[in-house]
Amino acid sequence: MKSWKENIRRIDPYVPGEQPDLEDMIKLNTNENPYPPAPGIIKAMKEFDFDKLRLYPDPTASMLTDSLAKYYHVDKEQVFVGVGSDDVLAMAFLTFFNSKKPILFPDITYSFYEVWANLYKIPYERPQLDDNFKINKEDYYKKNGGVVIANPNAPTGIYENLEFIEEILLHNQNSVVIVDEAYIDFGGESAVRFVEKYENLLVVQTFSKSRSMAGMRIGFAIGHKDLIKALNDVKYSYNSYTMNQVSLCFGVPAIEDDIYFKETLKRIIDTRERTKVELKNLGFSFPDSMTNFIFATHPQIKAIDIFRALREKNIFVRHFNLSKIDNYLRISIGTDEEMDKFISALKEILC
Ligand code: PMP
């Protein structure tokens, strides 16, 4: 092999869900929000000053960090923004996980954590979830180089309450604890309230799910100002202008319209609860979900067969070909109409 080839950084990449673009499809495979973003964004779009595109955007992204700080009742020095929470999490791994001790995250969780750990050569361990897909918090009470917990967890959908999260924080005061709250708005309570008490806590959220803006790519972290300063130092050593002008201008109205935000959340939660009943009636079982998806398995028909049969009907759900979860489907919650069609399709497939 040529020596330059030996020096290439090789990595098994994260595989995102497919983005088919078919007419009449029902897309329940990437946990997107079925409802449009806040109406204020259309106004912002109409008023957008295109001349601004000539200039570099504000590297501090202050419009957006100010708006988030106000919404979450923290100082703007406690807020970091990035190109989706993937960018924020990748930056956090690079910034905080530099110990020789392994970082800890569950064996079944957001699969990107393992990819970043490999990319940055961070040692890691993946304590196993129990047989009900629950995190054993005691597994995180040992020496480590950092802890990452998705709450609710993905793809299981299981939410742990704040006492559980605080127990993990209490046992990990010497490492940075990242709580990935990509799905927290769908019924959970955020650990943001702990950032004053635990200066090693970084809470990460996204506009992609609850705020209907997956296409815009906005994510953020809230934590102690020293953590945020460290994140910014790494960001400025990597790419000063992660947030483009359009994201800055459209992100603010997404935060400000709280009524619309809460209405859409309620609709999705109502549809999720209704879908749980329907799936149960069809014989599926699933951990109770506090997210905008349900992680379900059927006792008679293999998940992969259901996945394929749905696909033939242009209904897309997510199947992970990974041990322990390969007989499960992750089904995102769409509109009521989409879920009705999905349930009717399942009835046809199962009978
Ligand atoms: N964390 C979790 C647990 C997720 O499921 C996702 C979505 N794939 C993300 C983070 C990243 O979302 P985004 O980059 O769109 O903010």
C-alpha 236/C-alpha 261 separation (Å) is 32
Q: CB 117: neighbour CB atoms within 10 A?
A: 22
Counting every residue written for the chain, the total comes to 351
Which atom of ligand 1 has the smallest separation from the CA of 153? 3
Q: Do residues 121 and 129 make contact, with C-beta atoms less than 8 angstroms apart?
A: no
Ligand 1: centre distance to CA 182 (Å)? 6
Hunting for tokens 């997404």 — which residue is that? Answer: 254
- Kindly list the domain boundaries of the chain, sorted by start residue: 15-37+259-350, 50-257
- Rounded to an integer, what distance in angstroms lies between the CA atom of residue 257 and that of residue 242? 24
* pLDDT of amino acid 256: 95
The string of DSSP letters for 283-312 reads T-B-PPP-SSEEEEB-SSS-HHHHHHHHHH
Q: State which H helix or E strand residue 222 sits in.
A: strand 219-223
| Half-sphere exposure of residue 113: CA atoms within 13 angstroms, side-chain side | 25
User: Probe ligand 1: pick from 109, 203, 206, max atoms within 8 Å of CB?
Assistant: 206
Give the nearest ligand 1 atom to 110 CA: 3
Tell me, using a 6 A CB cutoff, whether residue 150 lines ligand 1: yes
Residue of 66, 110, 71, 73 lying closest to 92 (CA atoms): 110
Paired tokens of 5: 């080839």
Give the per-residue pLDDT at 351.
86
The CATH classification number of 50-257 equals 3.40.640.10
- 285's CB contacts (< 8 A; 6+ apart) are 296, 297, 298, 299
Strand partners, 316: 27
Plot region of 119 (φ>0 → left; ψ -120 to 50 → alpha; else → beta):
alpha
Q: 15-37+259-350: which CATH topology?
A: Aspartate Aminotransferase, domain 1 (3.90.1150)
Domain 15-37+259-350 and domain 50-257, same fold? Reply is no
Distance CA 41, CA 261 (A): 12
Structure tokens at 252: 């603010």
Question: Taking phi first (over 0 means left), then psi (-120 to 50 degrees means alpha), and beta for anything else, what does residue 129 get?
Answer: beta
Q: Would you state the pLDDT for residue 2? A: 86
Coil vs helix vs strand at 322: coil
Q: Return the structure tokens found at 29.
A: 């495979």
Task: Spell out the per-residue pLDDT of the chain, length 351, in tens.
Answer: 789 999 999 999 999 988 998 989 999 999 999 999 999 999 999 999 999 999 999 999 999 999 999 999 999 999 999 999 999 999 999 999 999 999 999 999 999 999 999 999 999 999 999 999 999 999 999 999 999 999 999 999 999 999 999 999 999 999 999 999 999 999 999 999 999 999 999 999 999 999 999 999 999 999 999 999 999 999 999 999 999 999 999 999 999 999 999 999 999 999 999 999 999 999 999 999 999 999 999 999 999 999 999 999 999 999 999 999 999 999 999 999 999 999 999 999 998
Which CA distances in Å does 153 have to 12, 137, 320? 22, 13, 15
Phi, psi of 146 (to 5 degrees): 155, 160
Contact yes or no for 149/181 (Cβ under 8 A): no
| C-alpha 342 – ligand 1 centre gap (Å) | 24
Asked whether 180 lines ligand 1 (CB < 6 A), one says yes
- Determine the Cα–Cα distance for residues 233 and 184; give it in Å rounded to an integer: 28
CA–centroid distance for 202 within its chain: 14
Q: Which atom of ligand 1 is nearest to the CA of 83?
A: 14
Its pTM surpasses 0.75? yes
